[in-house]
Amino acid sequence: MLGSGLGLVLAVLIASAGAARAEPQGDATESVKRGAAGYRVCSSCHSLQPGVHLSGPSLAGLWGQKAGSLEGYGRYTKALKAADVVWDADGLNAWLADPQALVPGTTMTLRGIADDQARADLIAFLRMAMAEGGVETVVKAGLIAERTAAGQIPPNLSTLGADFRISAIRHCRDAYYIAMESGTELPIWETNVRIKVDTSRRGPKKGAPVLMRSGMAGDRVSVVFSSLSELKETLVESCGPRSGAETR
């Protein structure tokens, strides 16, 4: 529960948030709490931790900054980098209402938040969270959990054991045959296999691509390599005999 002192601080912060259309109606503390709840959807693509980029850039320290200008994030579209947009109350209000209308050509998948109050609540929270040191502020205040602030970071693939590590992979006709370090070879329909590269520190170790299962019945998998060159070296087209591996 937020204390009365913190509630006063939140009210002051929101009162100075910017454009009238982005100001929340009613109790400021409750608005920030509602905005924090709404942010949990955003955490699937954005982290509040500095330098931790997911499918979208980290939001740490971005309040008041020009859109498309964050150092260390290289996947901005040309449209966003060229846009005259600043991440303040005005800019975020327009962006959250309709990203494509504000920046035609952006790859932001959010359709837009039509409800004025929902946008105002989220902006009230983001004004705190996107400030310098904001992640510590919102976590300490109990607005979101530390794991939410970190974003939905994929598992650390470099720590997985032999049941996940791939020793060889070949494609034949309509299937991938994936030989595991544990000794089994899995024949999987080619349409159910996603080939990925993860060059981050949480990606697979060099020379140890991994297999991750997904889908309702575990029949879909992702094969993740540590680099593009490793993918090219490991994945081969071959319908030759299996090299002693078991078949499921």
* Residue keyed to tokens 């050509």: 105
Q: Rounded CA gap, 201 and 13, in Å?
A: 37
The parts of the chain modelled with pLDDT lower than 70 are: 1-28, 215-218, 241-248
Q: Rounded CA gap, 63 and 36, in Å?
A: 16
Contacts of 141 (CB under 8 A, 6+ apart): 2, 6
Q: Can you give the pLDDT at residue 248?
A: 38
Contact assessment for residue 231 and residue 195, using Cβ atoms and an 8 Å cutoff: yes
Q: Rounded CA gap, 185 and 167, in Å?
A: 10
Q: Can you give the pLDDT at residue 241?
A: 60
Contacts of 89 (CB under 8 A, 6+ apart): 17, 18, 19, 22, 23, 123, 127
177: nearest Cα among 220, 236, 122: 236
Helices (H), 21-98: 28-42, 78-82, 89-97
* Domains, the chain: 4-149 (1.10.760.10), 157-247 (no CATH)
Q: Can you give the pLDDT at residue 247?
A: 38
Q: Can you give the pLDDT at residue 243?
A: 45
pTM of the model: 0.71
Neighbours of 139 (CB within 10 A): 18
Q: Can you give the pLDDT at residue 109?
A: 80
CA 127 to chain CA centroid, nearest Å = 20
Q: Can you give the pLDDT at residue 214?
A: 81
